A and B are shown apart, each in its own frame.
Chain A
Amino acid sequence: MNQNKNSTNDNPLNEHDLINGCIKNDVYCQKLLYEKYSPKMMGVSLRYCNSKMEAEDVLQDSFIKIFDKIKTFKGEGSFEGWIRKVVVFTALKSNDKRVKKFEPGDLDNVQEPSLDSKAVSNMETAYLMNILQELPVGYKTVFNLYAIEGYSHKEIGKMLGVTDVTSRTQYSRAKQYLLKTLAKHGIKRI
């Protein structure tokens, strides 16, 4: 066991053991869990935040909650899905605290452009992440939840405390805003 503790990369524990260890507040298990999921969850967090620092704050709060509440995980569904949910909800709360979520945006006169999807596909993932991060928080949140996480507008409405119609409208505006932003970044019409 001590040998294992010296080499955290060589993870000898399965997920069940890892969860049990974390329930017992074993720092070694917590570290293994963190190392396993933190890069992926950092990716999730980055999508909802404006900067890396903000995303790390969300990630930090998320893992504090995960370690504190891991005993409430009942094994229903995947563990990664549960962790992801915690990160998403923490990010939503983080955005809640200062920012007006649903900016009207200056989109009234924006024509929805048709963009070269091949050009978008060829863009670096990090570049796409930057574009997503540039969106206003409200749009970014709805876009993330609907287009990437796969939540329905009804679920999003419940999560954000708005009606599903608002979520739908916001998503539509978010899409327009995103296309406009892509156009600004040089993705030309075809």
Chain B
Amino acid sequence: MNNEIENIFKQKLENFESAPSAGLFDTIQAARAKHKRRAIWLWSSAAILLFSLGLGYTLLSTPSEKTLVEHETIGKEQKTDLITFEEQISPVIENDKFQPLDQKNIDPKKDVQLIKNTKSKSLNIANASVSPEKTKTQSSRDGTVLPHAENLTVNEDLAKLYQKIHDANKNADPKKAKVFTRNGESEVELSSVPVTVLNLETLRKGEVLQVENSTTAIDSAPIAQNTTPKDNEKTNEKLPIHKLVKLSRWGVEASTGGGLGSRILSGPADYVAMRNTTESVKFSTAYNLNVLYRINTKWSAQTGVSLVNRRENLSYITADQMTYTQREEIRTETIIHPVLGEIKREYTVTVTDSFIQKGTQTKQTNTYLYASIPLVLERGLQAGKKWSLMTKIGVLAGIYSTANGQIVTGEGQSEDLQPIPTKSVGFHSFTYGIGAAYKCTDRISLIMYPQAFIGLNSLLKTDVDVSQKELGFYTHFGLRIQL
């Protein structure tokens, strides 16, 4: 008998048909398009990240001599002096037996270069644009004194500056400086050429002496007694005032960022698909407040507080609600009796009424706030007079998180978002960025730092075994102050 019932179920339900809601096909097409877009977005993100990592690796692996430009304050204002220097120093280079420098350290196309002499740990200004033709016309060198030194007078302010720099280098000969050219290395009279020699060994570790340009300019002193009229014109030009700035290891940085944040869900495919259908990315913000510690001239470490306020759109339609109510109804039946004729009889029946309450569409914004402590290493890649380029890589350790909004459950209903538990111990995200800094003053820079972070550990474990990892691309703008 029971098998009969099973057969009835099979017969009636095996080929049961029911029309789905109108518009479901369009929803399917939209969902497929969305999946494709998401796939393209993910692949593009992965490609960009790989490219950035490759670029970062390439730049980081470049030899330091080529990329290190620590003191670029000799700018256009001083070029006048350097031209004079060029002409005066060239004979010394031509006629003396100087130790040749490694040619790769000198770029013949650049007028002014700063080259690190690793042996003496001193930084020197090198001039590579020495003209061979000019050198032939000049006289020879006498010992360590320039042959034309007595004829040369350098701007007094510059001389004072170099003297100050030399005061910091007690071991160095105050009257001499090293000059590097593409032809070699030589010692010259300090008073006759605008060459700085900074011996970092005499400074406390981590401190850097830096020549700072001033907006004020003074009349330059005569450069040489036997100058040409053209040279006299040069001497009447304004020369900048220089002063020494001592930069410590420490700095602070505050920045705010904007961009797109998303999450990677893993779990049952259908549940993930449901979440992905109802949730979409929205413009989000991030904030960093960091302390910087310079490890050496290239590397610095950063830590502080990092806040990410990720927002997402939630859009869903609640399920139709079916409600049933029962009521009693009195009905009348008429029976035609062959003998008694028409008989009317009242009887009561229980009637069940059903009502469908259509689902309602809800649209709102969910917010996830994460606070973490970043541990970041930054490396300077390139430094110009005003602009510099750097890259950073690090990890984030979560300390606090909260979530506001709703989440759609499987039955088309919603419930409040629960705060997502962060990893109180351990790191949950990896971060990477390439940024640029614009130096407003010697201590203050404006920074722009596009950066990405990708979840390493799961932030969320629910009872349906769904884990959530964060993924974000934010561009930070902020201020960096070197103390």
Residues of A that sit less than 8 Å from B by CB: 27, 30-31, 34-35, 38-40, 42-43, 46-47, 50-54, 56-61, 63-64, 67-68, 90, 93-94, 96-98, 112, 114-115, 117, 120-121, 125, 128-129, 132, 143, 147-148, 175, 178-179, 182
Contacts and interface: CB of A to CB of B under 8 A. Distances in A.
A69 to B, nearest CB: 12
A98 B24 CA distance: 24
B18 A39 contact: yes
Contacts of A59: 20, 24
B19 interface: yes
Contacts of A132: 9, 13
B357 to A, nearest CB: 13
B32 A67 contact: yes
| Contact residues of A: prevailing secondary structure | helix
Given A64-B31, A68-B32, A34 B5 contact: no
A54 B29 CA distance: 18
Contact of A97 (B5, B6, B35, B268): B268
B412 A179 contact: no
Given A93-B268, A97-B267, A117-B4, A148 B25 contact: no
A82 to B, nearest CB: 17
Contacts of B342: none
Given A52-B320, A53-B319, A56-B20, A43 B15 contact: yes
16 contacts: A35-B25, A39-B17, A42-B19, A43-B17, A43-B18, A51-B319, A53-B359, A54-B412, A58-B270, A64-B35, A97-B271, A117-B8, A121-B8, A125-B12, A128-B9, A179-B2
A129 B9 CA distance: 9
Interface string B406-423: 000111100000000000
Interface in B27-59: 27-29, 31-32, 35
Nearest to A121: B8
Contacts of B267: 97
Contact of B411 (A53, A60, A182): A53
A61 B273 contact: yes
B269 interface: yes
Nearest to B412: A53
A38 B13 contact: no
A175 B2 contact: yes
A26 to B, nearest CB: 12
Nearest to B31: A64
A142 to B, nearest CB: 12
Given A67-B32, A132-B9, 4 more contacts: A51-B319, A53-B319, A93-B268, A98-B410
Contact of A148 (B13, B271, B359, B409): B13
B16 interface: yes
B393 to A, nearest CB: 37
B24 A38 contact: yes
Contacts of B271: 97-98
A179 B359 CA distance: 32
Contacts of A43: 13, 15-18
B233 interface: no
Nearest to A25: B32
A96 B268 contact: yes
B464 A93 contact: no
Interface in B165-200: none
Given A43-B15, A43-B17, A54 B410 contact: yes
Given A31-B25, A47-B13, A64-B35, A97 B20 contact: no
Contacts of A112: 2
A147 B24 contact: no
Contacts of B2: 112, 114-115, 175, 179
B274 interface: yes
B14 interface: yes
A112 B9 CA distance: 18
B461 interface: no
A117 B274 contact: no
Contacts of A64: 28, 31-32, 35
B273 A147 contact: no
A57 B20 CA distance: 10
Nearest to A62: B28
A57 B13 contact: no
Nearest to B465: A97
Interface string B260-299: 0000000111110110000000000000000000000000
A120 B15 CA distance: 17
B10 interface: yes
Interface in B311-325: 319-320
A102 B74 CA distance: 79
A64 B269 CA distance: 13
A42 to B, nearest CB: 5
Contacts of B8: 117, 120-121, 128
A40 to B, nearest CB: 5
B348 interface: no
B471 to A, nearest CB: 23
A189 B35 CA distance: 53
User: What 3 A-B pairs have minimum CB-CB distances, sorted nearest first?
Assistant: A97-B268, A43-B16, A39-B17
A1 to B, nearest CB: 20
A125 B21 CA distance: 19
Contacts of B412: 51, 53-54, 57
Given A64-B28, A98-B410, A40 B17 contact: yes
Given A60-B28, A117-B4, A46 B12 contact: no
